[in-house]
């Protein structure tokens, strides 16, 4: 079983739609949960991170974590064409070597149609 699973999409939505992106994970040692956005041929950029179950809002973005179900989500409200990108979930756990190891999902490609 993969440590982190994410539907690769692609997902096409009309402008203004609410987008829901999801990941599941198997390793309960993960402590921190992140969403990165990656534009074509660019490096990933951090959108949001959280470490506890529940919701965290930042503008049009809401990150949701359910540790009991090992499930995380990212919601985008009032989606815009500029939101078109690949969204990567990422999780990290502390390692015995004293660093954090980050594991990424496959990424979901999102296209918001004008």
Partner 1 sequence: EPEVTQTPSHQVTQMGQEVILRCVPISNHLYFYWYRQILGQKVEFLVSFYNNEISEKSEIFDDQFSVERPDGSNFTLKIRSTKLEDSAMYFCASRDRGDFTGELFFGEGSRLTVL
Binding site for partner 1 (CB under 8 A): 31-32, 41-46, 49, 51, 88, 92, 95, 97-107
Task: List the structure tokens of 44.
Answer: 């990933």
Give the nearest distance from C-beta 95 to partner 1 in angstroms. 5
- Of residues 13 and 103, the one with the C-beta less far from partner 1: 103
Closest of 65, 56, 6 to residue 32, by C-alpha: 65
Measured between alpha carbons, how far is residue 95 from residues 2, 31, 99, 112 in Å?
A: 18, 11, 6, 38
Give me the sheet containing 54-58, strands edge to edge: 4-6, 19-25, 71-76, 61-66, 54-58
- Of residues 31 and 78, the one with the C-beta less far from partner 1: 31
Give the nearest distance from C-beta 14 to partner 1 in angstroms. 25
- Of residues 17 and 32, the one with the C-beta less far from partner 1: 32
Give the nearest distance from C-beta 42 to partner 1 in angstroms. 6
**Distance (Å, whole) CA 94 – CA 80:** 36
Give the nearest distance from C-beta 87 to partner 1 in angstroms. 12
- Of residues 41 and 82, the one with the C-beta less far from partner 1: 41
């Amino acid at each position: 079983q993969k440590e982190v699973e994410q539907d690769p999409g692609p997902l096409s939505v009309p402008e203004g739609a609410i987008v829901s992106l999801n990941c599941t994970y198997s390793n309960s040692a993960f402590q921190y949960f992140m969403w990165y956005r990656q534009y074509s041929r660019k490096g990933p950029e951090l959108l949001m991170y959280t470490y506890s179950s529940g919701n965290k809002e930042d503008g049009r973005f809401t990150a949701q974590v359910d540790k009991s179900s090992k499930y995380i989500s990212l919601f985008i409200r009032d989606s815009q064409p500029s939101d078109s990108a690949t969204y990567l979930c990422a999780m990290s756990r502390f390692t015995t070597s004293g660093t954090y190891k980050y594991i990424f999902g496959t990424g979901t490609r999102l296209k918001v149609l004008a």
